């Protein structure tokens, strides 16, 4: 994706727009940063080799333009003391990040993206809306809590019957958005911790799919794409993303649940844990089918596997880091 100077330029302006939005001192400047971020991401989506990219970029632009118009309306009415302005602002930011029940555009856009663009959409594009949402917590506290509970269930139930890997990862991202919103209710540092671990675990899996050019469940069960060693790596990575102890993805969820329980958010904790259990169900279904349906290896597959050894080792170290950190955190607590 980032092979041409134009792509590097648009990615640089995308990051600059994000930084401009999160460091702004007024809603108008934040809106300008979000618009720069939007206009920089659309050229990165467009691809001559992907016939669905134009449709995805149009859907993304229309949705984000609607949310931007809502931000302008809310920011202009905040000075007049209108009661619904903070809720309108929070709703616009929730639309931009794809949280349920404002998530309908997210799976449709993700279906037309490549894996590298999907990484940006599910990680970098959430930073600015999440940061700006933290400024409205005092007035829209209950709205964010209800959206977090809804996102946990939508992200869990939406991925059960998905055979397309991009949609499965999309609903997984919606489920993790619920955890990020819940962490944001506690503190920004907790949200940053959860977001950082989510970026690491999800990026390793998406890069694995990108390297193997896997877009459907059957691609993972093909003998030409999967070996026992790679199946084990993917198995551990998905369980880490799902938050199964003692993998890396479990640590921020453990801390978040503890903080939510101390703050008496037991209603929200119930939906978050229930959604995580359902997520683990379809992660296990995905990995077990990959193990059980894979054909015996051919000789040329050993060459393919050895070329991925460095990446496999890197992914393994990231996702089993929790095996080392969990006993330490347990002793501290």
pLDDT tens column, 275-306: 999 988 888 877 776 666 554 444 444 444 44
In order, the DSSP letters of 113-139 are S-HHHHHHHHTGGGHHHHHHHGGGTTT
What's residue 5's pLDDT? 82
HSE, CB side, 13 Å, CA atoms: give it for residue 155. Answer: 32
123 closest CA partner among 51, 208, 180, 59: 180
CB atoms within 10 A of CB 161: 9
Q: Would the pLDDT of 67 be above 50?
A: yes
Residue 163: Cβ-neighbour burial (10 angstroms; 0-12, 13-18, 19+): exposed
Average pLDDT over residues 125-130: 94
Q: Would the pLDDT of 309 be above 60?
A: no
154 closest CA partner among 143, 142, 162: 162
Structure tokens at 133: 């949402």
179 closest CA partner among 253, 242, 280, 244: 253
Least confident of 45-59, 243-257, 313-327: 313-327
What's residue 93's pLDDT? 95
Average pLDDT over residues 216-233: 66
- CA–CA separation, 237 vs 263, rounded Å? 31
Average pLDDT over residues 71-94: 86
Q: Would the pLDDT of 141 be above 70?
A: yes
Q: What is the pTM of this model?
A: 0.89
Phi and psi, residue 168, nearest 5°: -65, -45
Average pLDDT, the chain: 83
Average pLDDT over residues 39-52: 82
Give the distance, in angstroms, between the CA of residue 133 and the centroid of all CA atoms in the same chain: 17
- Assign 38 a pLDDT band (cuts: 50, 70, 90): very high
Q: Would the pLDDT of 323 be above 70?
A: no
CB atoms within 10 A of CB 129: 26
């Amino acid at each position: 994706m980032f092979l041409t100077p134009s792509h590097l330029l648009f990615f640089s302006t995308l990051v600059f727009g994000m930084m401009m939005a999160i460091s702004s001192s007024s809603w108008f400047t934040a809106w300008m940063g979000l618009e720069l971020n939007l206009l920089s991401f659309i050229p990165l989506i467009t691809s001559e080799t992907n016939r669905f990219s134009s449709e995805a970029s149009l859907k993304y632009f229309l949705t984000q333009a609607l949310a931007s118009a809502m931000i302008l309306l809310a920011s202009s009415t905040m000075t007049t003391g209108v009661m619904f302005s903070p809720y309108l602002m929070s709703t616009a930011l929730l639309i931009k990040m794809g949280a349920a029940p404002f998530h309908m555009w997210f799976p449709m856009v993700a279906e037309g993206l490549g894996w590298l663009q999907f990484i940006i959409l599910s990680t970098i594009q959430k930073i600015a809306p999440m940061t700006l949402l933290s400024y409205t917590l005092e007035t829209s506290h209950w709205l964010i809590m209800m959206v977090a509970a809804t996102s946990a269930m939508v992200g869990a139930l939406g991925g059960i019957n998905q055979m397309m890997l991009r949609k499965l990862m999309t609903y997984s991202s919606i489920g993790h958005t619920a955890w990020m919103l819940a962490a944001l209710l506690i503190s920004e540092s907790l949200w940053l911790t959860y977001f950082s671990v989510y970026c690491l675990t999800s990026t390793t899996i998406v890069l694995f799919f990108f390297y193997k050019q896997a877009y459907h469940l059957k691609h993972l069960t093909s003998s030409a794409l999967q070996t026992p060693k790679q199946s084990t790596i993917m198995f551990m990575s998905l369980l880490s993303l799902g938050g199964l102890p003692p993998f890396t993805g479990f640590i921020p969820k453990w801390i978040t649940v503890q903080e939510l329980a101390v703050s008496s958010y037991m209603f929200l904790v119930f939906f978050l844990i229930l959604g995580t259990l359902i997520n683990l169900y379809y992660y296990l279904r995905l990995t077990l089918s990959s193990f059980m349906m894979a054909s015996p290896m051919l000789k040329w597959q050993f060459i393919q596997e050895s070329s991925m050894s460095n990446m496999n080792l890197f992914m393994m170290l990231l996702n089993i880091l929790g095996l080392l950190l969990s006993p330490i955190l347990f002793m501290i607590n």
